[in-house]
Amino acid sequence: MADQTFRLPDLGEGLTEAQLVTWRVQEGGHVEVNEPLCDVETAKAVVVIPSPWVGTIQKLHARPGESVAVGSALVTIAAEGAPAAVEPRPAEGVEATPSTLVGYGAGAGPQAGSRRRARVAPSAQQAGGDVRAAPFVRQLAKEKGVDLARLTGSGPDGRITRADVEAAASGATAPTPAAATTSTDGERRISVVGIRKAIARQMVRSVSTIPQFTEFAVFDATNLLAARQRQKQSGRSLTPLPYFIVALVKAVRAFPLMNSSWDEARDEIVVKQAINLGIAVNTSQGLLVPVLRGADQLDLSAIADQSARLIEGARAGTLKPGEMSGGTITITNVGASGPVETGTPIISPPECCVVAFGAIKPRPMVIDGEVVARSGAWISISVDHRIVDGALATEFLTALVGELEHLHA
């Protein structure tokens, strides 16, 4: 038996650090191979780190809430035997066959032929009403028999924290979370870590490095709604999103420069071959952008299936980091509720374009010289001015409106 220090592995996709969410082991406790050591939150997902050794926990090198750099000491184990081949996995909802831990073992990568089999994770509603809680918190609540719908979250924006769940399980009052502090003059300070920190960095990068401009248009949604009705009559009800994606893909094919990026190191425009569409999703953890890969190769039905899976996975926290990177153009949706019609979307670097759709509502339109009420919505696009000029952006937006107004799916 010898002490082995396990370091935070490379979780892939260029991630350099992770926030320690919770330990699942204690110093002095015994751990088995593949038994969860801790949950960490990266810029893209909450991931479980399993143990590569059988042994006794000697020392935990970080505290929950701290950021841990890749390669930094995570835990020291008095290990019995050689390390096993294991792999980090999403915090819940995924079963994995063993493979080499990313960044460790032979080849420092997954073994050939390793597979993952995903199952659908419970949504926030299934875990107890319309709650704001991270996946590991929902899992903890399930284990302790706590109904999240009955809790008032003490975290940012009312998010339910681990402390809230543990307090409810013990009947105590939830402590004030370490992430938020209140000064004597009433100011409240919230520690920014994990996904929120990544969002902040990405937005600063976008507005400080990309000279972007925005254009707006309104489209007549009559044909889109008729297409939805035909689909419903055939036995399947679809949201407007798959139709938006179909139209966007067709417009991008006609204007491939919208599916490009600026190579700052070489001052070159890189036009992407595949259309990997980022879909902005509002979640309890913040804004996440899962990527629908090869959107230009999918029909309406496949787009509906895969986009729904990605959206649900983003909200449930079950997507892998690789499923939230590699986008070439992004789509966002204001939604159907509230008075907000549209907005100015911010480009996700290094992409060239982001497209925002507003809510479809009845509005006055001029048809054949007459003002009539028709269902329609705003579209806004933000574009990298280094790559696309105003005239091309206008042509693209006009083409997108045309595709939407002539849908016959």
Residue 76's closest CA among 147, 115, 27, 38? 27
In a domain, 195, yes or no: no
Segments in 41-193 forming alpha helices (H): 135-144, 162-170
Q: Is 83 contained in some domain? A: yes
Residues 111 and 153 in one domain: no
Are 372 and 227 within one domain?
yes
In whole angstroms, what is the distance from residue 161 CA to residue 370 CA?
56
- Return the H-helix or E-strand segment holding 278: strand 277-279
Whether residue 126 sits in one domain with residue 110 = no
Q: What is the pLDDT of residue 191?
A: 67
pLDDT of residue 98: 30
Is 374 found in the same domain as 258? yes
Domain boundary residue, one of 102, 117, 132: 117
pLDDT of residue 241: 95
Higher pLDDT, 233 or 163: 233
Q: Output the pLDDT for position 302.
A: 96
* Partner residues linked to 271 by β-bridges: 260
160 and 27 co-located in one domain = no
240-271 pLDDT, tens per residue?
Answer: 999 999 999 999 999 999 999 999 899 999 99
Q: How many Å separate Cα 186 from the centre of its chain? A: 33
Q: Are residues 129 and 270 in the same domain?
A: no
- Check if the beta carbon of residue 396 is closer than 8 Å to that of residue 217: no
* Chain CA centroid to CA 243, Å: 21
Q: Among 14-28, 56-70, 394-408, which range has the highest average pLDDT?
A: 394-408
Assigned domain for 46 exists = yes
**Banded model confidence at residue 182, pLDDT cuts 50, 70, 90:** low
| Residue pLDDT, tens place only, 106-139 | 233 333 333 333 333 333 333 334 566 766 677 7
Give first-to-last CA distance, the chain, whole Å.
Answer: 65
CATH number at residue 104: 2.40.50.100
Sign of CA dihedral 217, 223, 229, 233: negative
Domain match, 90 and 127 both: no
Token pair listed for 361: 């509502």
Could you tell me if residue 69 is inside a domain? yes
**What CATH number does the domain containing 173 carry?**
4.10.320.10
- The domain of 23 spans 2-117
Q: Do 214 and 352 reside in the same domain of the chain? A: yes
Residue range 286-316, pLDDT digits in tens: 888 999 999 999 999 999 999 999 999 888 8
Is pLDDT above 70 for 103? Answer: no
Per-residue pLDDT band for 165 (boundaries 50, 70, 90) equals confident
Average pLDDT in the 272-282 region? 95
Residues 371 and 338 in one domain: yes
Q: Which of 94, 117, 140 is the last residue of a domain?
A: 117
Least confident of 65-74, 138-147, 272-281, 299-308: 138-147
User: Side-chain half-sphere of 373: how many Cα atoms within 13 Å?
Assistant: 2
What integer is the mean pLDDT of 379-386? 97
* Mean pLDDT (whole number) for 65-73: 87
Least confident among 33-47, 161-175, 252-266, 387-401: 161-175
Cα 396–Cα 400–Cα 405 angle in degrees, nearest 5: 150
CA 11/CA 277 separation, integer angstroms: 23
The answer to whether position 140 is within a domain reads yes
Out of 117, 144, 160, pick the residue that ends a domain. 117
pTM, to two decimals: 0.65
- Identity of residue 371: V
Dihedral over alpha carbons 96, 99, 105, 107 (to 10 degrees): -130
- pLDDT of res. 354: 97
Q: What is the pLDDT of residue 122?
A: 35
Task: State the CATH number of the domain containing residue 373.
Answer: 3.30.559.10
CB 11 within 8 A of CB 71: no
Residue 106 tokens read as 């032979």
Determine, yes or no, domain membership for 192.
no
Is residue 230, in this structure, part of any structural domain at all? yes
308 burial via Cβ count (<10 Å: 0-12, 13-18, 19+): middle
Q: How many domains does the chain have?
A: 3
The pLDDT confidence band at residue 388, using thresholds 50, 70 and 90, is very high
Please report which confidence band the pLDDT of residue 14 belongs to, taking 50, 70 and 90 as the band edges: low
Element (H or E) spanning 403, and its range? helix 390-405
Cis peptide before 350 (omega within 30 of 0): yes
Which has the closest alpha carbon to 242: 324, 322, 309?
309
pLDDT of residue 136: 63
Percentage of residues of the chain with pLDDT beyond 70: 78
Answer yes or no: do 253 and 178 share one domain: no
Q: Are residues 241 and 367 in the same domain?
A: yes
* pLDDT 10s digits, 336-354: 666 888 889 999 999 999 9
Calculate the average pLDDT of the chain: 81
**Which structure tokens are listed for 151?**
């809790």
Per the listing, tokens 């259309």 go with 275
Instruction: Give which of 45, 19, 40 is closest to 325, Cα–Cα.
Output: 45
| Active centre residues (catalytic) | 385
* Residue 163 and residue 69 in one domain: no
- Which of 5-19, 67-81, 170-184, 235-249 is predicted least confidently? 170-184
196-212: pLDDT as tens digits:
777 888 889 999 999 99
The answer as to whether 177 is a domain residue is: yes
